Amino acid sequence: MRVCCTPQIRSKILGCLIVFGVSTLLAAKVSSGAGLTVSESVLQAEQQRIDTISRIVPAVVAIFDPSGQGGGSGVLIDEAGFAITNFHVVQGLGGFMKCGLNDGNVYDAVLVGIDPTGDVAMIQLLGRDDFPHAEIGDSDKVKMGDWTLALGNPFLLADDFQPTVTYGMVSGVHRYQYPAGTFLEYTDCIQVDASINPGNSGGPLFNADGELIGINGRISVEKRGRVNVGAGYAISINQVMNFLDHLKSGRIVDHATLGATVTSLSDGSVVVSNILETSDAYLSGLRRDDELISFAGRPVRSVNQFKNILGIYPKGWQVPLSYQRDGKRTDIVVRLAGLHRRAELVPGGPVEPGPDEPDDQPPIPIPLPHSMEPKAPEIPDEYKDLYEDKPGYANYYFNRVRTDQLLGALEEQFGDSSRQQLNWMWAGTVNEETPVQFRLLTDVIAAKLGAEFAVQNLDEDPQPVPESTGGLLTALHQFKKLLQAPDDYFTEFYYVGSEPLDGTGDRVDVLISTKGLVTSRWYFDRDDLRLVGFDTSIDEEHQPCEIRFGEMTEIDGRPFPEKFHVRHARSEWGTIELQTFEAIAPEAGVGQ
């Protein structure tokens, strides 16, 4: 019988025969005892990988839910025991939890801060001051094809706290993942094919050099299943680092919005489709139909790309923005508003499924290691004071401690006498020419600039006086109260985290104070904790009065900034140089 065989079929048969023949020869060679030669470069790469894993494994944290319902992973980032994980891992665990390291020990850990939108949380492991920790990498340098290592506790297999390691490559960068049933939003994340499964959540993603480049948190799964199909997503470490001090503040932190929506046109340009008139972007000049060119130093070529960039920044940061109108480019710096109302961010109610837990699938019940009983963690008395419950905070303890540190540094900078309830009389010049006098009294702030007068009655709504300052008199009154009575005067007073000063400068620590509609942001140098300036907004309809300090000096025997550089709407108003400073008690008859 004849069988017709097309050229395509003949080619496939020949290929199979060749593969079979090669396999047979290799098998015969191995069975005969003849060894195969392995390239030295392959052996070196293998050993390098083994050495890297041995170096990074000690920083990986196994986090367990004491109720026995699940767990997750984390990674230590400093020797003090601060560790990063996913918000959906710690949600519902309370203020304390148990964690294991590959040294075989179980450690108590306390919740520090949470970022529900970005699915990030910070905890602190306790009991040591020399914890092993990961080396922080730069996720902006990650490229498709880079080798990666994902470590963690999938399916809670690490009953001896030895993490599971999977190896793969970067499948994509700058991925955007829409919220899945909640407002969890993964922006600018890293896609990998390294196996990531339930329990890996919150664990580290390392590059081939053992540098931390991401936090594993989300996977694509089979329909109605919970098994990874080859696409995992890690929150970029650069996003985490932007939020790091915000998380250390003990707050429930929020992400940012520009206060504007954007859309793509048929020619590919990204334009503003709507904008809030109270947003800083609007007050800085951005309008509907303006074309976005770049945001935070990165080009904007699509709506998703814009969301990717926006999503890595905390509420309140200032970032550069470039836009085009009628062919003319304009560069501005805008302060980002909060993405959510405060009430939206307060945890409560049932625990929502994590990004790797589909809504229609219950969590896999995984038993705890035999060494841990399913009960609430017993917290030693020495640690109980490390958690303070307060509305709006994940753990108010950390905020109070940092706020007290900055206020203590403020007292050292300005001296104990600054706390006295005194009226202030200043005299000097503006821009080395115009004579100026200020009277900061108990009921009124008055200024004489050359031949002109400006007055702010403190029992009336704040006004943007003097002209073009955005409210200099109100700002100076807030400064006086910061030094004299912050605990008694301000409605709210808290540490918010750190941010680049003026959007492009070095990082500064930030305290926020509110009094009625007035909000001030106080900026402290992170090295020596000096107050270097502040911004005061009289309401949301006006851009703030921005004050930056010159060098500290002694004026009439009192430590004080020699110069106040004043700006409004990012434009210089002038530099106040103080020449005399007098403090007088109200009972002396001045400013009653």
DSSP 362: P
3-class secondary-structure state, position 358: coil
Beta bridge partners of 76: 83
> Rounded CA gap, 111 and 216, in Å?
19
3-class secondary-structure state, position 582: strand
**431 close to 546: Cβ distance less than 8 angstroms:** no
The CA radius of gyration of the chain, in Å to the nearest whole number, is 30
3-class secondary-structure state, position 116: coil
**397 close to 251: Cβ distance less than 8 angstroms:** no
* 65, 115, 119, 509: the active-site residue: 119
88 carries an active-site annotation: yes
Q: What are phi and psi of 171, to 5 degrees?
A: -90, -25
> Rounded CA gap, 471 and 456, in Å?
9
Q: How far is CA 375 from CA 63, 67, 71, 369, in A?
A: 14, 5, 14, 13
Q: How far is CA 101 from CA 91, 128, 152, 397, 556, in A?
A: 21, 12, 11, 25, 58
Q: What are phi and psi of 61, to 5 degrees?
A: -110, 135
In the structure encoding, which two tokens stand for residue 444, read together?
Answer: 């009124």
Which has the closest alpha carbon to 122: 307, 397, 521, 352? 397
Beta bridge partners of 320: 333
Transcribe 420-481 into DSSP letters.
S--EEEEEEEETTTEEEEEEE-SSEEEEEETTEEEEEETTS-----STTTTSHHHHHHHHHH
Taking the CA of residue 29 as centre, how many other CA atoms within 13 Å lie in the half-sphere pointing to its CB?
10
Rounded to a whole number of angstroms, the distance between the first and last alpha carbons of the chain is: 119
477 carries an active-site annotation: no
> Rounded CA gap, 548 and 565, in Å?
5
CB atoms within 10 A of CB 482: 22
> Rounded CA gap, 466 and 453, in Å?
8
CA 113-116-120 angle, 5° bins = 60
* 139, 195, 201, 279: the active-site residue: 201
As a 3-state breakdown, the chain gives helix, strand, coil percent values, each rounded to 5, of 20, 40, 40
Beta bridge partners of 501: none
129 carries an active-site annotation: no
Active site residues: 88, 119, 201
